[in-house]
Amino acid sequence: MPWYNYIACFFAGMFLANFVPHFVYGVCGDPFPTPFSKPPGKGLSSPTVNVLWALLNLVIGYILLRVGRVSPDGLPALVVFFAGVAVMSIMLSIGFRDKHSS
């Protein structure tokens, strides 16, 4: 598989991991930081903005998943995909740890 497929696998994992918190907060009706809040990533965005941001992440993640040819049969692609999930999950846990403190 070409090297750029692995890049797509990694970023697919990142976008799909980022989908989860924004979607959950959005559908629960809770505000949550997005890149569109003021200040970006720190202020709170409305639940609707979070759902829309989540859906955009889902679409981009799905496209990258297809480009990266992630499948249960391709172990290297799966490892890179889950590395992307892990990296984004850790980044989100660090970035949002203080979201409720003011």
8-17 pLDDT, tens per residue? Answer: 999 999 999 9
Query: What does the pLDDT average to over 67-89?
Result: 92
16-73 pLDDT, tens per residue? Answer: 999 999 999 999 999 999 999 888 878 899 999 999 999 999 999 999 999 988 888 8
- The answer to whether 35 touches 11, Cβ cutoff 8 Å, is no
Rg (CA), the chain: 15
Query: What does the pLDDT average to over 80-87?
Result: 96
What's the pLDDT score for residue 66?
Answer: 92
Q: Which helix (H) or strand (E) holds 33?
A: none
Give the integer Cα–Cα distance in Å for 94 and 87: 11
CB proximity list for 34: less than 8 A, separation 6 or greater: 22, 40, 41, 45, 49, 50, 53
Domain ranges of the chain: 3-95
Does pLDDT of 101 surpass 70?
no
What's the pLDDT score for residue 39?
Answer: 86
- Token look-up 């955009």 returns 56
What's the pLDDT score for residue 41?
Answer: 77
pTM over 0.95: no
